[in-house]
């Protein structure tokens, strides 16, 4: 298969997925790795030639985000394992990017993955996986959709069962959506969530004008200015979830990361994870 069959998203939000693959590839090389994702290096190798000199801008960014991001990957792995221990077999990954959990995790054989992301992400991802002869270990459905539009019907058409509990994974997509769009995603997934479904919301103290975020914005969109409109779910999401049938518990980032033995780079008592379970 030629390089043309894997068009690389070198700009726009889809390219952020390459940054996270870069993080997972780096983690996989470590002797004390928190997880192993051998396919991540395939994505990095396939993407690199198309970036040209801009690749050199990615490397310092990786250094800035690596510690926090790699611990976050492991925490999501832990949540996937906890969910299957609770009997959940349906996992929907929102903004899946170059996620390879359906290929790399050790889970019950009847686990089913649904990966949702923009068409340009899968136009790159699927040919790279095919070229690497990667075979998913579980049923895996790929949905090229824009989360800002309707996506519930596509999910149902692919075999999603709204009467079964689901683990919904947001690992860095809702923060990119404008607030009404992010909130609509949660309203939609709430309608699709049977009792015992789970959904986790990260809260981070992000200064959009700090060095790392400025550098990321420049690389992704060429813009210096932070967007004027609010993005992500906002401060009232906890109240909304309670009113719409979810129980929530909060754990600080430091509490979650304590057992992992890596530096706590995310800090702050307001920084952590809100775990929601559908009543």
List of residues contacting ligand SAM (CB under 6 A)? 13-14, 16-17, 20, 95-99, 117-118, 121, 146-148, 171-173, 176-177
Beta pairing partners, 142: 115
CB of 63 to ligand SAM, least distance (A): 17
**Is the Cβ–Cβ distance between 189 and 168 less than 8 Å?**
yes
Nearer to ligand SAM, 176 or 250 (CB): 176
Q: Which is nearer to ligand SAM, 173 or 189 (CB)?
A: 173
Do residues 191 and 253 make contact, with C-beta atoms less than 8 angstroms apart?
A: no
| Residue 174 C-beta: closest distance to ligand SAM, Å | 9
The residue among 173, 71, 77 whose CA lies nearest residue 118 is: 173
Phi, psi of 277 (to 5 degrees): -125, 130
In terms of CB distance, is 115 or 264 closer to ligand SAM?
115
Shortest Cβ 120–ligand SAM spacing (Å):
7
Instruction: Report the alpha-carbon distance of residue 15 to residue 68 in Å, rounded.
Output: 19
Q: Which one, 91 or 118, has the nearer CB to ligand SAM?
A: 118
CB of 117 to ligand SAM, least distance (A): 4
- Residue closer to ligand SAM, measured from CB, 29 or 247: 29
- Identify which of residues 146 and 225 has a Cβ nearer to ligand SAM in the complex: 146
- Residue 141 token pair: 């459905």
Burial-class residue 236 by CB neighbours within 10 Å (0-12, 13-18, 19+).
exposed
> Which residue, 102 or 173, has its beta carbon nearer to ligand SAM?
173
* Residue 77 phi, psi (nearest 5): -55, -45
* Distance from C-alpha of 146 to C-alpha of 150, rounded to nearest angstrom: 8
Question: CA–CA separation, 163 vs 181, rounded Å?
Answer: 25
Copy the structure tokens of residue 185. Answer: 């995603």
CB 114 within 8 A of CB 155: yes
Q: Residue 254 Cβ, how far from ligand SAM at the closest point, in Å?
A: 21
């Amino acid at each position: 298969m030629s390089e043309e069959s894997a068009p690389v998203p070198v700009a726009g939000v889809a390219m952020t997925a390459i940054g996270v693959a870069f993080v997972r590839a780096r983690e996989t090389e470590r002797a004390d790795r928190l997880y192993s994702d051998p396919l991540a290096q395939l994505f990095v190798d396939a993407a690199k030639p198309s970036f040209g000199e801009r690749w050199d801008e990615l490397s310092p960014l990786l250094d800035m985000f690596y510690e926090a991001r790699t611990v976050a990957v492991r925490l999501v792995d832990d949540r996937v394992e906890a969910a299957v221990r609770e009997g959940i077999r349906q996992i929907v990954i929102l903004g899946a990017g170059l996620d390879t959990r359906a290929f790399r995790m050790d889970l019950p054989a009847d686990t089913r993955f649904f990966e949702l992301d923009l068409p340009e992400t899968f136009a790159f991802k699927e040919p790279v996986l095919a070229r690497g002869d990667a075979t998913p270990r579980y049923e895996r459905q790929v949905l090229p959709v824009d989360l800002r539009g309707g996506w519930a019907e596509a999910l149902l058409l692919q075999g999603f069962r709204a009467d079964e509990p689901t683990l919904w994974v947001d690992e860095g997509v809702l923060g990119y959506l404008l607030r009404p769009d992010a909130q609509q995603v949660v309203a939609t997934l709430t309608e699709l969530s049977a009792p015992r479904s789970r959904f986790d919301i990260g809260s981070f103290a992000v200064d959009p004008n700090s060095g790392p975020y400025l550098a990321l914005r420049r690389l992704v969109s060429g813009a210096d200015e932070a967007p004027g409109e609010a993005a992500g779910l906002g401060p009232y999401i906890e109240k909304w979830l309670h009113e719409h049938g979810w129980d929530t518990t909060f754990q600080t980032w430091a509490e979650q990361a304590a057992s992992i033995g890596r530096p706590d780079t995310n800090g702050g008592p307001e920084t952590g994870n809100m775990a929601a379970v559908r009543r």
